[in-house]
Amino acid sequence: MAASVDQPFKDHYTIQDLENLSGIHAHTIRIWEKRYDLLHPLRAGNNVRFYSQEDLLKLLNISTLYKQRYKISRLASMDDTELLETIRKESMHGLSEDFASHSFKLAMLNYDQPLFDQAFNEISKLKSFREIFSSIFIPLLNEIGMMWQTDTITIAHEHFLSNLIRQKILLQVEHLQSAQRAREAKTFVLFLPANEVHELGLLYSHYEICAHGHRSIYLGQSVPEEALGNLQSVYPGITFVTSMTTHPIAENLESYLDYFSRSLLRKGKDELWVSGRKIQGLASKTALSGIKLILSQEDFLKAL
């Protein structure tokens, strides 16, 4: 069961939680406890061990450095402050994808925006934003989503990380838009359907459209279809872009697309590009005028 919305912190973690978050096998964690007095779990009445928030953060610090080939004996001798300072120093020497991912995860658990920013700035010296998003952020978000669903982390952790990533996308978009020169550009209008709030994927599409030199108008979450007609009086041709993760509900999806095709798209002038979990099963049976199904990031980049 997922963590409740009004519970931002967990009181305790199981050893399986620690394994999920750190990538260190439970068997190894037990060995480190015995050999180095590394963690100090409490025991419930049924003799099940539970770990505190401090235990988890310490293990995350240790696992991050352990994967950088620090010896566990050395790490076990460090206090929490020294561990975190060592991580910050390591990040200044350039990050691998794995180290960056661990740093982002650690920043999430600590609610530590400076650590997130520092890790992002360092990995940006080695990789483009497109590479960071596809090879680090997407796998991390998928992992974090599973952790939230299994109650390993809380919704506060997930929202904190998602909003930091959102800020980075918007910053990249701002830089691109401020550098764009006036020209005849194709117009894209990005929106999410009514009741749809999962916008990170659409925000990234906003970035890619700007990076390809097109005009991108971002409307955001839960936009009713009738509101989109206002833009058609301004632009002679529009490519609408949307993403469907939870809405429309399955029984309304095809009728939504059919309505959009028949009633909103001007023939020969407008298109609707649709991505997201909801349309994955439609590719083989849906062929509507002006509707393009985008099944992957590669499809989207090719279409641009």
Residues in the chain: 304
Instruction: Read off the pLDDT band of 35 (50, 70, 90).
Output: very high
Spatial distance between the Cα atoms of 205 and 200, rounded to a whole number of angstroms: 9
Token pair belonging to 117: 């920013």
Quick one: pLDDT at residue 147?
Answer: 77
pLDDT of residue 81: 86
CA distance 296 to 201: 11
Over residues 215-221, mean pLDDT = 92
pLDDT digits 0-9 by tens, 95-118? 577 778 888 888 888 788 988 998
Q: Among residues 255, 253, 260, 252, which one has the least CA distance to residue 276?
A: 253
Q: How far apart are CA 101 and CA 104, in angstroms?
A: 5
Rounded to two decimals, what is the model's pTM? 0.75
Which helix (H) or strand (E) segment holds residue 252: the answer is: helix 250-259
Q: What is the number of alpha carbons within 13 Å of residue 51 lying toward its C-beta?
A: 24
Residue among 267, 280, 282, 256 nearest 195 (CA): 256
pLDDT tens-digit readout, 11-21:
678 888 888 88
Q: Alpha helix (H) ranges present in 135-263?
A: 138-149, 155-179, 200-211, 229-232, 250-259
Cα angle 117, 118, 123; round to 5: 100
- Residue 286 has a pLDDT of 61
**Which residues, 6+ apart, have CB-to-CB distance to 109 below 8 Å?**
21, 56, 57, 60, 153, 157
Domains and CATH numbers, the chain: 15-172 (1.10.1660.10), 182-303 (3.40.50.280)
Q: Cβ distance 153 to 144 under 8 Å?
A: yes
Which residue is listed with tokens 């020169």? 181
| Residue 3 pLDDT grade (very low, low, confident, very high; cuts 50, 70, 90) | very low
The stretch 160-182 carries a mean pLDDT of 89
Query: Which tokens sit at 161?
Result: 């990380």
